[in-house]
Structure 1
Amino acid sequence: MSYVAIDWNKLEDELDKHTWEKLTSQFWLDTRIPVSNDLDDWRSLTDEERDVVNKAFGGLTLLDTLQSEEGANVMRDAVRTQHEEAVLNNILFMESVHAKSYSTIFISLNNNRKIEEIFEWTNSNETLQYKAKRINDIYQNGTPLQKKIASVFLESFLFYSGFYTPLWYLGNNLLPNVAEIIKLIIRDESVHGTYLGYKFQLGYNQLDEDEQAEIRDWMYELLYDLMENELLYTEEVYDQIGWTNEVKTFVKYNANKALQNLGFEPFFPDASAEQVNPIVMNGLSTDTTNHDFFSQVGSGYLMGNVEAMDDDDYDF
């Protein structure tokens, strides 16, 4: 066996290089964002509101941990190109950055005892554990196409029940630095979900009609199962502050986006962009504020002026 050196000047799929450049230009670290500047806002929230934020971020930590340990890693055996594997390596690392970022938020806003309580809840909550185990079972035992479906559902759908909280507060001029981290994460996840959805479509389009029908039926069965659990999870987290119905609409909206990433039509008619809270939809924009917190950490750090990938980026 001889090893083959990767040649980025000879590409089988231009999108691999495009995605690599997009992701590397978006590189960021949580330590550059002064989350502790949000302490006054944090103290102004009620105990119930702080509990919702902590639980939402605990759930996100668990899912990003799963993605960093298994998500992109289990797809390496089915890569089409060496460049695709390089992109997966980048995705794997950034999922670790995402998972660590929530700890930065926790330590900036909570005491050690409260942080321990957050992780105890995260590691024992049944609905949260169910979706992590359901996705990981597919990662360990599914086909390459099933793994891509599971990953896109996680990146483009299941994360968003947790993202709703900081986007709502951002729209109400609260917790801007916390929201900045979340918007950076959303910007990454937008690329991850779209890229893996594109790779799914390449494989799906090579199947015959019967095989396509089989994987499609499997996908919708998974969607129903995950959505049923996600709506229960949303109730557990948000009932205490009365946001449950709004968050459920947002969750369904993002499930539709996940289906679109995979090349399918939206499924939930009661969850269009117009039906989502406009404050949250505005915050969902993946442009970041780039406010002058950079001066607090030194002028050597500068975030790239980039945008999330659009559907048109995949037209060659």
Structure 2
Amino acid sequence: SIVSSGFGSGYFVGDPRVTGEVTEVQGSVDLTGEGFIASESAAQRNGWAIGEEVPLDTAVPGADAREIGTVALLGTYEDNDLLGDQVISWESIAPHMEAGEFGSGMYSQPMLFAAFVNGDIPLDDLRDRLEDATDQFIVVQVLTPSEFAGTQAVFVDQMLNVLYALLALAVIVAVLGIVNTLALNVIERRQEIGMLRAVGTSRGQVRRMITLEAVQISLYGAVVGVVVGLALGWAFLKVLAGEGLDTIAVPWGQVVGMIVASGVIGVLAAAWPAVKAARTPPLEAIAD
């Protein structure tokens, strides 16, 4: 059996109960012949009765809606996400498709959504049968569970690589910002640094002071970023919980590693400003 979408609602070839997700309420949900089925709530909302003829129209994007016939309600089923509100049989729309009454736009053509097979058969035979059943659909691929997982993993890896590239760019910008901030601080505090040097502060102590400032700035930014990032990630998963993304896993090792790395980056960013501050001539700086 094949479930496809298009025409504003999907069509089904065969009996949708093979999916294991469809529970019949009234009438028959077998779509081997002509007719359509609807969810119990959709039937009640529209006032449809079993056997009633319902208008069939061409309400698809890019085409003027017009009635092209009627189709009978065969039965109703309990609400489920797989079939949606209503599903029509292929036998009901095939003649209209051949006549071109649904137009020629992309949304007027049948699009494969899922294929279901029953029976315990070897995987190779199952794959051959699925390839035969979907041969008419150009963009359809038949993959084993491991192959499908591999394709999804490649897609996720590509997204992560893009995110890591953006993170690297953000780190570069942050390092330049720390260097710029410290350089300006050294210039603005020239007299203060000169005074410290005049009262006995060594060059090493001045370098240490500037380095600690850089580490403080970088650690503060890292902690704020971690807190905001975790909050946004939590909110993102809560929003998508209905789509199956309901497991929240925090990579604490990676988070701690990022914070430690930010401190190291702060030390590296302070190298040039710290040396410049340590070389400040005490008397000239005080005189300025």
TM-score (norm 1): 0.20
- Larger fraction in helix: 1
TM-score (norm 2): 0.22
- Larger fraction in strand: 2
Higher Rg: 2
